[in-house]
Every structure is written in C-alpha cells, then in structure tokens.
Amino acid sequence: MFRDKDQIKQILKDVQANKLSIENAMEDIYDCGYHDIGIAKIDHNRDRRRGFPEVVLAEGKTSEQVVKIMESLAEYHSNILATRAEPETYELVKQIIPEVKYNKLGRVIILERRPLPRKGSVVVVCAGTSDLPVVEEACETALIMGNEVKKLRDVGVAGVHRLLDNLDILHQARVIIVVAGMDGALPSVVAGLVDKPVIAVPTSVGYGASFNGLAPLLTMLNSCAAGIGVVNIDNGFGAAYLANSINKMGI
C-alpha cells in the first residue's frame, strides 16, 4: 500500500528515535508499491524505478476516472502526462488542476510544475502532415521527460529532397524518431543516411491496402537498413519513452 505523508513522517521519526534502521526505513518507503484509489492502483514509485511517473492512458477511461487518477498523481509528482485525452476530459482535469496544459492535435494533457533541463537531442521526423497527431504525442512526451526536441515535418519519400535538405539536423541528433503511414518507407531512408538509433512509428494514415497501419508496420519490420527499432501503430508515446532512455544513456 502507498505510504502517505504522515506514514513517511512516522518512519523518519522512528529512525530519529533509533527504533528503526536506515536500511529498514528505506525498504519501508521504497517498497510500498501503490496507492489504491478504487478505480486504479496508482504506481507512485514508478519515477524512482523508471525515471518518470506513471503516465495515464485516457483512452478507454471516462473523464471522471482520468480526473481522479491525475489528481492522485499530481499530489505527489510535479510533472505528469495523460495521452489520448479528448478536450472535454482536459476541461474537467483543468477544474481540479488549473496548471495543466493541452496539446489538442496530440491529445495530450501536460502538468509541468518543475520543467526538467532539456538535454541531448531527439529529432522527430514525419512523412506527411497527416502524421502530425502522432508526432505531437511523441514530442510532448519527450519534452516533459527532459529532452531537447526538434521536428522535421512533411519530409516523406515522395519528395526526398526535403529530407536531404535537413541532413545536418539528423546528424546532430542522438536518437531519431521517424513517423510514417502509407508505405512506411521513410524510416529505412533515414536509417540509411545516419549512424544514429532510429525508432520507427507506423501510423494508421493511408488508403485501404494500408490496413490501418499494418502495411507500414510490416515495411518497417522488414527494413533493409540496420539500426531500426519499431513500435506499435500510432504509438508516439512509446517511441518517445524509448528515445528518452537512449538519449539519457549518452549524457
């Protein structure tokens, strides 16, 4: 069960009174697990294990459920994130947590009370304008986790010269996220031009035979260019989370 502030205070008092060893106190505090709020068990220790608090997937939850979860997270964490959130959910959250901001295109709710220093370099590349919702989800995730982020929009393979004009930006990156629907060819092109890790994100953008992102997913999995990792369809959040881990390893 999650330790509240009074419980932690009592643990510290026990240490001060020599009733509890420092080692046992640390175990009591760190191994407490979660906060059960009825509809969810909030993993308040995740930032200690993974470097960032639990992120809320708003999709599939009611607005009221998202509010309750984010309210619990905001009590203990300065920076929190909710993805796949609709505007009406944001408006309800804002009534409880006035500091939150909303990226409408990316459908992301952001609470950033203590911005982390922006380090390293994550470049997010997209094939077309229709891919921008996934791009925005990735960018907001990478930013709140403390990464320097640059975007290259609408540089798909139908006009590859647009990509080649920005090679200097690609070469300066520590990790590159490439978002593409349709044929999904852009990550292979990028990976063939740079010596950086490339995280490919297939999107559900495209006509019938794209099968809602399955076609670009298979293209990316079968890429001839080495050094590509592939995440799930439309998963900008997952790509940014992985990019954050890679970027921070090099700092």
Per-residue pLDDT tens digits for 53-83: 899 999 999 999 999 999 999 988 889 999 9
Q: What is the pLDDT of residue 153?
A: 96
Q: Compute and round to an integer the Cα radius of gyration of the chain.
A: 21
* Candidate CATH numbers 3.40.1390.30, 3.30.420.10, 3.40.50.1970, 3.30.360.10; the one for domain 119-249: 3.40.50.1970
pLDDT digits (tens, 9 = 90+) for 110-162: 999 999 999 999 999 999 999 999 999 999 999 999 999 999 999 999 999 99
The Cα 132–Cα 130 span in angstroms is: 6
Contact 153, 203 (CB under 8 A): no
The Cα 173–Cα 164 span in angstroms is: 15
| Tally: H helices and E strands in the chain | 11, 11
Given pLDDT bands bounded at 50, 70 and 90, which one contains residue 3? Answer: low
Q: Reply yes or no on whether the pLDDT at 31 is more than 90.
A: no
pLDDT digits (tens, 9 = 90+) for 199-235: 999 999 999 999 999 999 999 999 999 989 999 999 9
The Cα 75–Cα 182 span in angstroms is: 42
Q: Reply yes or no on whether the pLDDT at 2 is more than 60.
A: no
Task: Tell me where in the chain the CATH 3.40.50.1970 domain(s) lie.
Answer: 119-249
Given pLDDT bands bounded at 50, 70 and 90, which one contains residue 92? Answer: very high
